[in-house]
Structure 1
Amino acid sequence: MRIERNNTTQPIELIQLTDTHLGAQLGEPLLGMDTDQSLAHVVELLNTEQRSAELLLATGDISNGGSPASYQRFQQMTEHLAPHTLWLPGNHDALSVMQQSFKGDQSLSRRIEIGNWQIVMLNSTIPGEVGGCLSDKELQFLQQCLETTVAEHSLLCLHHHPIAIGCDWLDSQIISNADAFFTLIDQFSSVRGLLWGHVHQEIEQQRNGVKLMATPSTCIQFAANSPDFKLARLNPGYRWLSLHADGVIDTGIARVTEVEFDIDYERSSGY
């Protein structure tokens, strides 16, 4: 799919929301947190800070259980944030429900070109599993995208992390064939960024000239460098990205402030 732009000289402005974990019912809590309320606070922050966004990227775990109602609420709460939206599934999502709920909707497009950039949405989920993997079919799809695009630069989006982040319990869920993934993208200098969710924390690194980025959840946050499951006392947030015509990516994190959330910080196991 091609998105035409009115202003071709300015950077492409994107926003990323990830791991919203909306329940089947409005206000359904996750470890004590009302995830609808926390998303609403993030959306309110976006309304004041990112009025020029051209594209919203939702990088998985939109739902906490794959209910149609959760996807419909997410769409209703976020559709005004940007003229275009792209979704991909996380391990808590139900891709078939997403596809049925938004059949024919461009939100589920796997690949778009906008300006001098290509954005590819990858499915790293394994049915019934928490951890991630990019199937042979998915890697073939990615290779085709990288070989055939007319765009000079590519941003690749997925749910699971392709690099170890220093949290033992999360690193057991890393993309299991990350080596094959990196072997593929190392062949293409057009790849300028990897963007993911799942880890509920901010990460920004460089690898062979490629920017590697993970983003806080719009609900609960995971503590960095923790061997076991542990929540961080940090507020929900989102990531903004500016894609420049020369391949440079400017990016940053914004978090909700001056709001206290009801969270079970003493929980010692997952959800």
Structure 2
Amino acid sequence: MSANPLRFIQLTDTHLSDPADGTLRGFNTAQSLAAVVEHIRTHEPRIDGILATGDLSHDGGTPSYRRFVQLLAPLDAPIYCLPGNHDALNIFSCALKGSRVHSGGRLLADNWQLIFLDSAAPGAVHGHLRPAELARLENALREHPERHTLICLHHQPVPIGSAWLDKLILDNADALFEVVDRHSQVRGILWGHVHQTFDMTRNDVRLLSSPSTCIQFKPGCDDFTLDDKAPGYRWLALHGNGNIDTDIVYIQY
């Protein structure tokens, strides 16, 4: 087991589209992702993996997924992807191919297990974990009770205090927490979707969301409201004793 913590970067809600100069609310999402990647390349000297937590594409097209892989090429680290509500589930895994790109599944590293769940519900904006995903989570936790565990998905499993976003929550979060509460090795749950930072603890489990690499949503709003915060990412240091150090970095460019 390494004496150094495992270090991961979370990139989420990149919302890439075709053509390459496509915008979201007037924001060029490819340019902002490229700026975030360049900052990571120059400021994060050691990365054990990239956690890409959904809505990688905005239009669900194959070119946008290929562009995602191309834009992350400067980062010499494996990429672990899971889908969000904007992603096209029928082409997500096929389009995200490469020697260092992984879709779904899990990662075993040092004394940690990272589990990547698919919370995308076809045709819906809210999230849902199918019985097969909940069973996969249960089995993975039973198989490795000795490993500290970080669970990653796209949709938030708890309300974040924005009425419009809290309607688009994981609709069977109780089922997720029933599994989590049976396994004391779970240290954190990490998600995207909400385009803002969230950090709380539930039963000693860290609950974390992160800003988008493009536009941000203003916290605490009843209706859709954009924030003026810059694109960003989250870094995580997973320690051998189960502790999680983490922070948000915003990129001005």
Same-fold call, TM cutoff 0.5: yes
TM-score range, shorter chain: over 0.9
SS at match of 2:102: helix
Task: Give the distance between the partners of 1:167 and 1:28, measured in 2 at CA.
Answer: 27
Contact preservation (8 Å) 1:112, 1:119: yes
How far did residue 125 of structure 1 move?
A: 0.7
Could you tell me whether the CA contact under 8 Å between 2:69 and 2:96 is conserved in 1? no
Q: Residue 18 of structure 1 corresponds to which residue in structure 2?
A: 12
Distance 1:104 1:25, change over 3 A: closer
C-alpha separation in 1, matches of 2:145 and 2:102: 22
Q: Secondary structure at the match of 1:194?
A: strand
1:98 aligns with 2:92: yes
- 1:85 paired residue number: 79
Q: 1:133 aligns with which of 121, 124, 128?
A: 128
CA distance in 1, matches of 2:114, 2:224: 32
Which residue identity does 2:106 align to in structure 1? R
Residue 13 (structure 1) shift:
0.5
Residue in structure 1 matching 2:61, options 58, 67, 79: 67
Q: Is the 8 A contact 1:118 1:151 kept in 2?
A: no
> What does residue 263 of structure 1 align with?
none
Aligned-residue Cα RMSD (Å) equals 1.4
Is residue 200 from structure 1 mapped to residue 195 from structure 2 by the alignment?
Answer: yes
The reply to whether residue 177 of structure 1 matches residue 172 of structure 2 is: yes
What is the deviation of 1:8?
A: 1.1
Q: 1:95 Cα deviation (Å)?
A: 2.2
Per the alignment, residue 266 of structure 1 pairs with none
Q: 1:87 to 1:133 in 2, by over 3 A?
A: same
Aligned match for 1:160, one of 140, 155, 159: 155
* Equivalent runs, 1:209-220 vs 2, <5 Å: 209-220=204-215
Cα offset, 1:109, TM superposition: 4.2
Instruction: Please identify, of 39-48 and 211-220, the stretch whose mean Cα deviation from structure 2 is larger.
Output: 39-48
Gaps of 5+ in 1: 1-6, 260-271
Change (3 A) 1:109 1:168: closer
Aligned structure 1 segments of 4 or more residues deviating by more than 6 angstroms: none
Residues 71-120 of structure 1: CA deviation (Å, up to 9, x unaligned): 11110111332421100000000122122224586511411100110000
